[in-house]
Amino acid sequence: MAAQTDRIALLEQHLTANRLERLREVLSMRTRRLTLVLENLYHPENANGVLRTAECVGLQEVHLIQEKFAWKYNRNIARGSGKWLEVGEWPEAAACYTRLKEQGFALVATSAEPGSLSPEALPLDRPVALIFGNESVGVTQQALSLCDYRVHIPMAGLTESYNIGVSAGILLYELTSRIRSEAPANWQLPASDAQDVYEDWLRKAVKFAGPLLDSLNKP
């Protein structure tokens, strides 16, 4: 198989300078210090909308737990965001949370119960997995029992809560902004990881990328 540098060089020839500059700019803002977990969302439009927000703020990973409800990608709502994200789909919540714990993530449930922190007070000394629960019942007791922290958005009104799309937007923007300002040494993707992501994006951005790359391996 051709070397990665050769594959990237070939694919770059088929995109404009402006397009390449944009891909690199977005890549420089990508982070794995914050990931998102959506737990058994009932309405697929909510999952797709939050997926779009996650990509817009610079997350690289999103995890979808689907123990009760099947999730279907909707390009019109997600606006193509799934193309640029790594989306993990989990039939069991326990496996997802175990994997995230093994990777060093602090599990953080969105919950307004006593002891919950504001987004400004949430510790960011290690990667954070932010968990949103079902629209009706919230984060499951299983997840709450495993979580290291709980976080909520302080309310100034009498309405019980924000909807999940608004909540995700507020928290993701606040936490990614804090991560970039408070952890400047390690919030970006490591060089080798960034190179892999860049190649993947080039493959998706270039039409007929497969046949082009196949030509590199021909004698």
Task: Provide the pLDDT for residue 214.
Answer: 86
User: Is 14 contained in some domain?
Assistant: no
State how many domains the chain has: 1
pLDDT score of 122 more than 70: yes
User: Is 91 contained in some domain?
Assistant: yes
User: Is 22 contained in some domain?
Assistant: no
User: Is 18 contained in some domain?
Assistant: no
Domain of residue 161, residue span: 30-208
User: Is 43 contained in some domain?
Assistant: yes
Task: Provide the pLDDT for residue 76.
Answer: 60
Task: Provide the pLDDT for residue 219.
Answer: 66
Residue pair 122/156 in contact by the 8 Å Cβ criterion: no
Average pLDDT of 139-156?
Answer: 91
Task: Provide the pLDDT for residue 69.
Answer: 64
pLDDT digits (tens, 9 = 90+) for 12-57: 999 999 999 999 999 999 999 999 999 988 777 888 899 999 999 9
CATH number, domain at 131? 3.40.1280.10
User: Is 144 contained in some domain?
Assistant: yes
Amino acid at 156: A
User: Is 38 contained in some domain?
Assistant: yes
Task: Provide the pLDDT for residue 218.
Answer: 73
Task: Provide the pLDDT for residue 94.
Answer: 93
Question: pTM, whole model, 2 decimals?
Answer: 0.91
User: Is 162 contained in some domain?
Assistant: yes
What tokens were used for 90? 């989990």
- Looking at beta carbons, which pairs linking 186-191 to residues 24 or more positions away fall under 8 Å? 186/33, 187/31, 187/33, 188/28, 188/29, 188/30, 188/31, 189/27, 189/30, 189/31, 189/32, 189/60
**Among 153, 148, 152, which residue's Cα sits nearest to residue 129?**
148
